[in-house]
Structure 1
Amino acid sequence: MDEGATTTRGGIRLLGVHKTYGSGEAAVHALRDIDIDIPAGELVAVLGASGSGKTTLLNIIGGIESADSGSIVVAGQDISDRPPATLGEFRRAHIGFVFQFFNLIPSLTARENIEVLVELTGRGDRARAQELLSAVGLADRANHFPAQLSGGQQQRVSIARALATDPDLVLADEPTGALDVATGRDVLKLLQQTTRAGRGVIMVTHNEVVAEIADRVVRMRDGRIVATERNTAPTDAAAVRW
Structure 2
Amino acid sequence: MIEHSKANAPANDRPRGGIRLHGVGKTYGEGEAAVHALTGVDLDIAPGELVAILGASGSGKTTLLNIIGGIEPADTGSIIVAGQDISATKPTALGAFRRDHVGFVFQFFNLIPSLTARENVEVIIELTGRGDRRRVSELLAAVGLADRADHFPAQLSGGQQQRVSIARALATDPDLLLADEPTGALDVATGRSVLELLQRTSRAGRGVVMVTHNEAAAEIADRVIRMRDGRVVSAEINADPVDAATIRW
Bin of the TM-score, shorter chain as denominator length:
over 0.9
Task: Determine the structure 2 residue equivalent to 1:237.
Answer: 244
Which digits, 9 at most, give the CA deviation of each residue in 1:187-237, with x for residues without a partner?
Answer: 111111111111100000000000000000000000000000000100000
Native 8 Å contact 2:70 2:86 kept in 1: yes
**Letter matched to residue 50 of structure 1:** S
Task: Determine the structure 2 residue equivalent to 1:99.
Answer: 106
Task: Determine the structure 2 residue equivalent to 1:86.
Answer: 93
Mapped pair 1:19 → 2:14: no
Alignment of 1:171-210 (within 5 A): 171-210=178-217
- Among candidates 20, 28, 42, match of residue 35 of structure 1: 42
Q: Tell me, what secondary structure is at the counterpart of 2:87?
A: coil
Alignment of 1:110-149 (within 5 A): 110-149=117-156
Task: Determine the structure 1 residue equivalent to 2:223.
Answer: 216
Which digits, 9 at most, give the CA deviation of each residue in 1:62-119, with x for residues without a partner?
Answer: 0000000100000000000322220000000000000111111111110001011011
CA distance in 2, matches of 1:82, 1:165: 21
Q: CA RMSD in A?
A: 1.4
Q: Tell me, what secondary structure is at the counterpart of 2:88?
A: coil
CA distance in 2, matches of 1:142, 1:151: 15
CA distance in 2, matches of 1:9, 1:138: 26
Indicate how the Cα distance of structure 1 residues 56 and 193 shifts in structure 2: closer, same or farther if over 3 A, else same. Answer: same
Task: Determine the structure 2 residue equivalent to 1:49.
Answer: 56
Instruction: Give the TM-score of the pair, scaled to structure 2.
Output: 0.93
**Letter matched to residue 218 of structure 2:** A
Native 8 Å contact 1:104 1:146 kept in 2: yes
Task: Determine the structure 2 residue equivalent to 1:159.
Answer: 166
* Regions of 4+ moved over 3 Å: none
Native 8 Å contact 1:9 1:76 kept in 2: no
CA distance in 2, matches of 1:150, 1:96: 22
**Letter matched to residue 216 of structure 1:** R
Matched length: 239
**Letter matched to residue 170 of structure 2:** L
**Letter matched to residue 124 of structure 1:** G
Q: CA deviation at 1:156?
A: 0.8
Which digits, 9 at most, give the CA deviation of each residue in 1:1-47, with x for residues without a partner?
Answer: 379x9xx8300000000000000010000000000001101100000
Q: Tell me, what secondary structure is at the counterpart of 2:133?
A: coil
Identity of aligned residues (%): 79
Instruction: Give the TM-score of the pair, scaled to structure 1.
Output: 0.96
Q: CA deviation at 1:178?
A: 1.1
CA distance in 2, matches of 1:2, 1:163: 25
**Letter matched to residue 119 of structure 2:** E
CA distance in 2, matches of 1:173, 1:154: 15
Task: Determine the structure 1 residue equivalent to 2:71.
Answer: 64
Native 8 Å contact 2:181 2:211 kept in 1: yes
Which digits, 9 at most, give the CA deviation of each residue in 1:157-203, with x for residues without a partner?
Answer: 00111111110000000011111111111111111111111110000
**Deviates most, 101-110 or 165-174:** 101-110
